[in-house]
Amino acid sequence: MRIRAVLAVAALAATTALAACSGDTGPLSTTATQPRTDAVGQAPPAAKKAAPACNPRASLRPEPGGLPSPGDMPAGSYMRTIQERGRLVLGTSQDTLLFSSRNPFTGQIEGFDVDMGRQIAEAIFGDPGKLQIKVIAYDKRVSSAADGSVDIVADTMTANCERWQDVLFSSIYYEAGQKVLVSKTSTAKSIEDLGGKKVCSAAGSTSIENVAKVKTKPIPVAKAVFGDCLVAFQRNEVDGISTDDTILAGMAAQDPYAKVIGDRFTDEPYAMAISKEHPEFARFVNAVLERNRADGTWKKTYERWLGDFGAAPSPPKAQYDK
pLDDT profile of the chain (322 residues), mean per 10? 37 38 40 44 55 94 95 98 98 87 92 97 98 89 95 93 95 95 96 97 80 95 85 96 89 91 93 98 98 97 89 95 84
Cβ neighbour number for residue 236 with a 10 Å cutoff: 9
| pLDDT at residue 48, as a whole number | 58
Residues of the chain with CATH 3.40.190.10: 78-173+271-309, 177-267
Which residue, among 90, 135, 101, has the nearest Cα to 250 in the 3D structure? 101
169-to-65, 129, 247 alpha-carbon distances in Å: 21, 23, 21
How many angstroms separate the first and last alpha carbons of the chain?
Answer: 37
Residue at 214: amino acid letter: V
CA atoms of 3 and 284, how far apart (whole Å): 32
Alpha-helical runs (H) found in 222-296 = 226-234, 245-254, 279-295
Residue 274 backbone phi and psi in degrees, to 5: -140, 150
Cβ density class 253-282: b for 16+ within 10 Å, e for less? bbbeebbbbbeebbebbbbbbbbeebebbb
| pLDDT at residue 26, as a whole number | 40
CA atoms of 145 and 149, how far apart (whole Å): 6
**Neighbour order of strands in the sheet with 109-110:** 95-96, 100-102, 109-110
Q: Which fold has domain 78-173+271-309?
A: D-Maltodextrin-Binding Protein; domain 2 (3.40.190)
CA atoms of 36 and 296, how far apart (whole Å): 42
| pLDDT at residue 34, as a whole number | 38
- CATH code of the region 177-267: 3.40.190.10
Decide if 133 contacts 92 (C-beta within 8 A): yes
| pLDDT at residue 204, as a whole number | 63
User: What is the model's pTM?
Assistant: 0.80
